[in-house]
Structure 1
Amino acid sequence: MTLVDEQVQRGREGRKAAGRSSHGDWAPASDREDPVAVLERQGTTRVQQLLPLRYGRMLASPFAFYRGAAAIMAADLAGTSASGIEVQACGDAHLLNFGIFAAPDRRLVFDLNDFDETLPGPWEWDVKRLAASVEIACRDRGFSPADAEQAVLAVVRQYREGAAGFAALGNLDVWYTRLDVDALIDYFAQTGTDAQVKAVRKVQQKALRKTSLRAVERLTEKVDGRLRFRRQPPVLVPVSDLLDASDAELLQSRLHRLLESYRRSLTAEHAHLLDGYRVADMAHKVVGVGSVGTRAWVILLEGRDAGDPLVLQAKEAQASVLEAHLRRSAHRSHGKRVVLGQRLVQAASDIFLGWERVTGIDGLERDFYVRQLWDGKGSVDISTALPPGMTKYAQLCGLALARAHARSGDRVAIAAYLGHSDRFDRAIAAFARAYADQNELDHRALQDAVAEGRIEATPDV
């Protein structure tokens, strides 16, 4: 029996552990934890003053709630069937955690771009998280149930067909495969409408402008002839505004040490490149929805002069929400967990992607990962998408997820498990509908908790 034969057999045996149709059988557990309690427990390790903003952002819509509810869904997925085939799971593979960014060769690529929760785990969990996000996004847009189902079936079918395609490739071919934006534009030109092609080109052009120079333009101002981060509380707050002079100086010195030691996580040539910059200013910046409350710093560096900037983001990395239901990370540093997981899954990663652990002024050690704040980053605005556009975008996400799993897991076994029929597709569509219903109930529970005064929420800014 060849290696491929063994992998195929492994995939088909996975159907005994979890029949493909079984993925559609989901209902909340009888002892399911109060979703608001899950969020409150997460909040105990976050910046308390920012929690009302996090809840305010999650209140905006069921989809906004879903973006911040990865911990809730991880607990729900723990009770679902799985084939026993593991990959480096993203852990939070919803629609808006895919996007465009610049590869080291400066070409734009489309891929997963959020790895805060990454951990080895069942590939099915990522597929379910993505499929449910499609259903929820379609409902938010007011699409008909038929249109929503078509979009969900399309994303799962694309994942299944993508898995089959990658299973037929050699190891190096899979490793080097990436979704170049130029190729995607050609694809849309052949298969999509003029409006879809125009929309993709618009995202491409916006991403090309989103660089450190753009970050400096948007986030800084000149003070006494030197660039400094703007004061835009609570979203952007310079270090000097957060603390008194002595504590601010202490924090800045520790962040400087973070950068000095973080360089050891870079390759030698990229560490050399970093050495050509000096720190000019630092600020706390609120990011995302689910990440609100975690400590995230932006660091302005200057190269040959102020016209040669580099803006880095140092973002706190806490334990993955998957760890409570799978196993603890093999890495002592959660920053290292995030970075190594990202490097494994992405076809091309930021040259400044690295990690470090730093002691705060409160004496507590925290893990961080560091990357460029903006480096050709762009995303599709699904809030204005029509059904055909949503379906096309969902398919791209499904293909990107299949490629990510093919890099880190047994792609032949996954493809053999999925097979050629749409049995798995329809099961996941049923799961997505059921979970979207539950997500709406959880969103309502957060609304009730705010109305009752149990938690405080502030409007988004």
Structure 2
Amino acid sequence: MPPPENRAATLDARRMLKMARSAHAYVRGNTAHFYEWLAQSPAAHRIPTGPAIWICGDCHLGNLGPIADGDGKVAIQIRDLDQAVIGNPAHDLIRLGLSLATAARGSDLPGVVTMRMLEEMVDGYAAAIADPEAHAPDAESDVVRSIERESLGRRWRHLAKERLDAVEPRIPLGKRFWVLAPEERDALRRLFADERVAAMVLSLKGKEKAREIRLIDAAYWMKGCSSLGLLRYAAIVGLRGGKGHWSYALVDLKEATDPVAPIARGAAMPRDNAERVVAAARALSPHLGTRMLPVRMLDRSLFIRELTPHDLKLEVDQFNRTEAVCAARELAFVVGKAHARQLDPATRTAWLAKLEADRRGAIDTPSWLWESVVALAARHEAGYLDHCRRYALAA
């Protein structure tokens, strides 16, 4: 557990390690290279320009999963909007396609399965664009359904055990949670004393009549891959009700920085990065957006959100052939709904026509999507091996 002044070097080493663990982890942590390499791909000039809407910007498998709203209702939505911009929705499709292709390779599935995954992905996405009120595809994914069922059965004890390795309301310092600098702890106390922040936490817990809210414990949170090195805190907030009983909320605070995803020309977005992330969440993932708030702390832009027991990441260790195809269709359907809810019927029809225009021939996948994913998979594989070499030399 490094002291605050030694965090940077430790975080850089952790980032190198996490990205060396698998090609899929390397893809997740390499958003900047994704867009650099996409611009250099042979199909770059043929990627259609879709309507300028909020996109995830980093639409890989790990950024999709069950999310609860303020009333406890759960849905599969986009769960990470750090890179979200008003941009080209085709970029979310390519990013998801690359993530699925990498997962298929990690599951030792043949290339023909990747081809089928991309075909089903486009079908699922197109179905959502055509009718954003439609239900999920008939061929449901067992992986998606199982994690959704797991999400519905979770309670505070599951969240505390998973995130904190404890059931009691405290944050155990160690590998993941690090000691705060005095100025960080003071800043967090002031933040939760802010009426605006307190009101958000109270409303999310359904405790509007609570008489007291206070910071119980907090720590620096070593989490993620692309976010390593940014300010990230976990905080336990206590809420005392009218009868003197306490309930607790686990809150995540994360620094927001400039996105690397391409921004549509003339797009009007909030200039503050935390405000941008929250605006994107409210457009793309309503369950998450209603639980977020942009804040300023230590002269940085952060967003704050309560973590609920129902929020889970979609972890895919192994796909079989059938599951890979079903998951591709269903997850693309989720992304399509996030895009479609921002569009009027005429714009949805025009965007759908662009998607369908290039679906001819033996491979029923738009050629720009297929060629982009193939080129990116090759670049990422080479980049991953080079990263592993550099990590081994450094180690």
Match of 1:35 in 2: none
Q: Is 1:323–1:329's contact at 8 Å kept on the other side of the alignment?
A: no
Does residue 442 (structure 1) correspond to residue 380 (structure 2)? The answer is no
Match of 1:425 in 2: 365
281 and 124 in structure 1: CA distance in 2 versus 1, 3 angstrom threshold? same
1:416 CA drift (Å) = 2.3
**Aligned residue among 45, 60, 65 for 1:94:** 60
Q: SS of the counterpart of 1:349?
A: helix
CA RMSD of aligned residues (A): 3.0
- 1:346 and 1:93 map into 2 onto residues whose CA distance is 13
List aligned pairs for 1:166-205, cutoff 5 A: 166=131, 174=132, 177=133, 191=139, 197=142, 199-200=143-144, 202-205=146-149
**Aligned residue among 377, 381, 403 for 2:315:** 381
1:151 CA drift (Å) = 1.0
- 1:91 and 1:394 map into 2 onto residues whose CA distance is 18
Superposed CA deviations along residues 139-190 of structure 1, whole A, max 9, x for unmatched, are 1111011112111221122212322x23xxxxxxx5xx486xxxx6xx66xx
208 and 438 in structure 1: CA distance in 2 versus 1, 3 angstrom threshold? same
62 and 201 in structure 1: CA distance in 2 versus 1, 3 angstrom threshold? closer
Match of 2:350 in 1: 413
Superposed CA deviations along residues 209-250 of structure 1, whole A, max 9, x for unmatched, are 44444333451659xxx84211222x112xxx344xxxx2x3
- 2:349 and 2:86 map into 1 onto residues whose CA distance is 18
430 and 220 in structure 1: CA distance in 2 versus 1, 3 angstrom threshold? closer
- 1:75 and 1:327 map into 2 onto residues whose CA distance is 21
51 and 374 in structure 1: CA distance in 2 versus 1, 3 angstrom threshold? farther
1:49 CA drift (Å) = 2.2
Q: Is 2:107–2:317's contact at 8 Å kept on the other side of the alignment?
A: yes
- 2:248 and 2:155 map into 1 onto residues whose CA distance is 10
Q: Is 1:227–1:306's contact at 8 Å kept on the other side of the alignment?
A: no
Does residue 251 (structure 1) correspond to residue 184 (structure 2)? The answer is yes
1:257 CA drift (Å) = 2.5
- 1:342 and 1:98 map into 2 onto residues whose CA distance is 13
**Aligned residue among 3, 6, 13 for 1:52:** 13
Does residue 141 (structure 1) correspond to residue 90 (structure 2)? The answer is no
Does residue 115 (structure 1) correspond to residue 78 (structure 2)? The answer is no
- 2:14 and 2:134 map into 1 onto residues whose CA distance is 36
Q: Which amino acid aligns with 2:373?
A: A
Match of 1:368 in 2: 302
1:103 CA drift (Å) = 2.3
Superposed CA deviations along residues 296-350 of structure 1, whole A, max 9, x for unmatched, are 1111011236751111100111111126897897323211110011101124335
434 and 78 in structure 1: CA distance in 2 versus 1, 3 angstrom threshold? closer
List aligned pairs for 1:73-84, cutoff 5 A: 73-78=34-39, 80-81=44-45, 82-83=48-49
Match of 2:23 in 1: 62
1:104 CA drift (Å) = 2.7
- 1:58 and 1:268 map into 2 onto residues whose CA distance is 34
Q: SS of the counterpart of 1:348?
A: helix
Match of 1:289 in 2: 225
Does residue 161 (structure 1) correspond to residue 127 (structure 2)? The answer is yes
Match of 1:131 in 2: 97
Superposed CA deviations along residues 231-278 of structure 1, whole A, max 9, x for unmatched, are 222x112xxx344xxxx2x32121122334482697798388487532
Q: Which amino acid aligns with 1:312?
A: V
User: Structure 2: where are the runs of 5+ without partners?
Assistant: 1-6
- 2:274 and 2:195 map into 1 onto residues whose CA distance is 10
Q: SS of the counterpart of 2:93?
A: helix
After superposing the two structures, state which structure 1 stretch, 398-407 or 425-434, moved more.
Answer: 425-434
**Aligned residue among 373, 376, 393 for 2:327:** 393
- 1:275 and 1:148 map into 2 onto residues whose CA distance is 55
- 1:303 and 1:269 map into 2 onto residues whose CA distance is 8
Superposed CA deviations along residues 18-37 of structure 1, whole A, max 9, x for unmatched, are xxxxxxxxxxxxxxxxxxxx
Q: Is 1:54–1:292's contact at 8 Å kept on the other side of the alignment?
A: yes
User: Structure 1: where are the runs of 5+ without partners?
Assistant: 1-45, 167-173, 360-364, 457-461
353 and 432 in structure 1: CA distance in 2 versus 1, 3 angstrom threshold? same
Match of 1:312 in 2: 251
Question: Identity of counterpart residues, as a percentage?
Answer: 21
Q: SS of the counterpart of 2:288?
A: coil
Q: Is 1:99–1:377's contact at 8 Å kept on the other side of the alignment?
A: yes
Q: Is 1:315–1:368's contact at 8 Å kept on the other side of the alignment?
A: yes
- 1:325 and 1:438 map into 2 onto residues whose CA distance is 25
Q: Which amino acid aligns with 1:369?
A: F
Q: SS of the counterpart of 1:279?
A: strand
- 1:87 and 1:368 map into 2 onto residues whose CA distance is 23
**Aligned residue among 198, 203, 206 for 1:270:** 203
- 1:306 and 1:216 map into 2 onto residues whose CA distance is 19
> What's the TM-score, normalizing by structure 1?
0.72
Match of 1:354 in 2: 293
1:396 CA drift (Å) = 1.3
